Amino acid sequence: MTTKAGAKIRNWRKHHEPPLSAEDFGRIYGRPQVWKAQAVYNWEAKGKVARPAVQRRLAALGICEPGDWLEFAEEEGAPNLEGAEVHAGEGHSFFDLHRHGFVRVATATPRTRTADVVYNADGIIEQARAAARENVDLLLYPELSLSSYALDDLHLQTALLDTVERELARICEETRALAPVLVIGAPLRRNGRIYNCALAIARGELLGVVPKSFLPNYREYYEKRWFAHGRDCIGLEIEVAGRSVPFGTDLVFAAANLRGFVFGIEICEDFWAPNPPGTLAALAGATILLNPSASNITIGKADERHLLTRASSSRAVCAYAYSASGHGESTTDLAWDGQGMIYELGDLLVESTRFDLHPELCVTDVDTQRILAERLRVGTFNDAAEAAGRPEDRYRRVTFTHAAAPGDKGLVRPVRRFPFVPNRAHKLDEDCYEAFNIQVDALMRRIQSTGTKSLVIGISGGLDSTHALIVAAKACDRLGRPRTNIHGYTMPGFATSEGTKSNAWKLMKAFGITAEEIDIRPTATTMLENIGHPFADGEPVYDVTFENVQAGLRTDYLFRLAGHHRGFVVGTGDLSELALGWCTYGVGDHMSHYGVNSGVPKTLIQYLIRWTIETRQFDEGVDGVLGDILDTEISPELVPAGADGQIQSTQSIIGPYELNDFFLHHIIRWGQKPSHVAFLAWHAWRDAKAGQWPIDFPEDAKNAYDLPTIAHWLENFLKRFFGFSQFKRSALPNGPKVSAGGALSPRGDWRAPSDAVAEVWLAELAAELPPLER
């Protein structure tokens, strides 16, 4: 049973402004040390008694008295965690999406009946309650959802307008205990005019009213007959349901207790205009734009709405939610499909089922941290704000305290496991073709500009050299040059396996290039002897020097061979290796005359090779070798296999490339905090059966990772990326950027000092993660 003290603590946290999670409560008020979230839950739900020092501290805060620990609470609904399946670090704020800047947004298609305001209000309340059950933070309804849209001259009827105001007051009262902020549509009167309005309501309080700026009056539309436009409504107020609230197109609404939760509103036709008013709201600070729309449906119009919503979210660097009227509107002359959708920075997060006869919620989680990070990077956004006269200085910011309860609410959002890999089914071939040909075209231009007679590539039988050879072969084909201009060399060392050596030869023969083999072991042995390395005396010492002697010799041979054949060395090292510093500086795979793979991460190389097989880009002989290469363990093959035959595994040392590429994308493209990246990775990778995988991804390659594993490899990534490998990237050869996810060239996407340290990122991750067993 719960003690009276435990019940008082829980009640105090719940009614704190803002409400506090157990972890935040212990961190802020714990004295003389932090109270762990688990301890707080033990006091609140399991009847555990706090230590005397803690009892005194709680009494000093006015939360509970020492005597309260001796009495049991008589209340219903106390949390019972006994036997519950909970995450590591039970109750930890890491699992709360709000902690990471996510806002759960939904579009609603409520039940509607033409001109039946009471019925429509019931539908609005019904959807608000459904949204509250789904932990929605911000709920968007269609245009004029309270009155219904297709009313024609009924908009001018006083009885209807009076009923709108009465029902608006009822909506406020009946949603006072609900967490979602509601944005509904209604016709409102002010100073002898009627405005087509959007109203923002939080916990039963009307925050403000935004009028429609642009009124369509063409084809089937006749809004200027009934409504006044709101373009010049600035700094005004309006009397609604007995109280005066802000009114105008100069409003943005912001949660005081949730940074990033800032929204603006434009209505239907507004985003069809050449100068959508929502753009100014975004420039004034809104991260989320809402469009309550009516918008009757005609053939092709759904695509047009997608186009405008996607463009608005991209151009204004924001999330954009759109909700159109559905079944129940008048079909005297028009029809309605109830389309709802939410985009974020040009990415479609969710869309509704159109022509549904039943009420529908379309729910997703918007990443406001991602939006704000992009605005930091895109200087044009700030330039536009300045050119527009700094809208943030003249817009009124209506603040409210968001009432969402803390805790793990999951994540309702598509999170791509492979952010560098194409994921559009209808454009898969086009996207892969584009990625591949960016490399091919870049290499062709370098061949033309240098006038080279040959291309020299070290062929190991691994993924990277295979892909570089594919690109080189295609470049020669397109330039009309014989593939014999490509000189491929396999250079076996002390740990080269027969499998990879055989694959290298099969690959070179299949492509018809000039193929040769140079055994580097004699030269490597001589060098090891010259420097006094123990291996030269027969000792099994396989240190970094042992590895780098082999890697350096291979590159040295390639550069001398390039001079010999009047050509240049085509680099094989990829983006993932550059991020992790998994390359031998200067004399290893770090160096080449042109790094054709330098903008391509390992996961994309794997997928592109798989794509070449499945789309039969080459003959069956080539496809067979490519399949064998894909199935081979990724290894530098610099250390001989152990007594058990176990070969050197790259991923056992630096971590799975699929995780490292996930980390890389979110850190270099969006600048996300490590804890944010960990949160996304946990939701993306914890269940192999959930979410989407790249198209035609092999079943036996579908992995899952728990949070301790993700945290371990993320910590490793941070150390290597921020604290170790930048000096290698600062001296990077030329090479093409391929993915919008970013590249690491110091002349392009990424500029960083070589002597920086990783402590800031490591400390942030350690501070935000729950206690983990590793």
State whether residue 94 is helix, strand or coil: helix
Name the strands in the sheet holding 102-109, side by side, starting at the edge strand that comes first in the sequence. Answer: 236-240, 243-247, 205-211, 193-202, 181-190, 138-140, 102-109, 360-367
Closest CA to 686 of 263, 152, 87: 87
Give the closest residue to 233 by CA, choosing from 202, 184, 198, 274.
198
The CA radius of gyration of the chain, in Å to the nearest whole number, is: 31
Three-state helix/strand/coil letters over 509-536: HHHCCEEEECCCHHHHHHHHHHCCCHHH
Contact by Cβ (8 Å): 598, 735: yes
| 32: preceding bond cis by omega (within 30 degrees) | yes
Sheet bearing 347-351, strands edge to edge: 347-351, 340-344, 319-323, 288-292, 262-265, 251-255, 396-400
> Both tokens of residue 698?
């092999």
For residue 101, the number of C-alpha atoms closer than 13 Å in the C-beta half-sphere is: 19
Look up 64 and say whether it is catalytic.
no
* CA separation, residue 712 to residues 122, 340, 483, 531, 659 (Å): 51, 40, 45, 37, 11
659: part of which helix (H) or strand (E)?
Answer: helix 657-664
Please give the single-letter amino acid code of residue 561: L
The residues, ordered by sequence, that sit 6+ positions from 65 with a Cβ below 8 Å of its Cβ are: 5, 59
- Among 350, 466, 457, residue whose Cα is nearest residue 105: 350
Give the β-pairing of 514-517 and 193-202: unpaired
> Among 4, 8, 36, 212, which one carries the catalytic annotation?
212
Tokens of 13: 């946290």
State the number of CA atoms in the 13 A half-sphere of 397 facing the CB: 16
Yes or no: say if 146 and 168 are a contact pair by the CB < 8 Å rule: yes
CA distance 697 to 417: 12
The answer to whether 195 and 212 have CB atoms below 8 angstroms apart is: yes
User: How far, in Å, CA of 170 to CA of 122, rounded?
Assistant: 10
Catalytic, 268? Answer: yes
Q: What does the alpha-carbon distance between residue 28 and residue 32 come to, in Å, rounded to a whole number?
A: 11
Q: By C-alpha distance, which of 743, 735, 662, 742 is closest to 374?
A: 742
Provide the residue type at 534 as one letter: P
- Show the tokens assigned to 353: 């089922």
Do 293 and 322 meet the contact criterion of CB atoms below 8 Å apart?
yes
Tell me if residue 773 is catalytic. Answer: no
Report how far residue 79's alpha carbon sits from residue 20's, in angstroms, rounded to the nearest whole number.
16
The active-site residue, picked from 23, 90, 143, 637, is 143
**CA-to-CA distance for 572 and 463, rounded, in angstroms?**
9
Kindly report the number of other CB atoms within 10 A of residue 122's CB atom: 18
Distance from C-alpha of 707 to C-alpha of 740, rounded to nearest angstrom? 28
Active site residues: 143, 212, 268
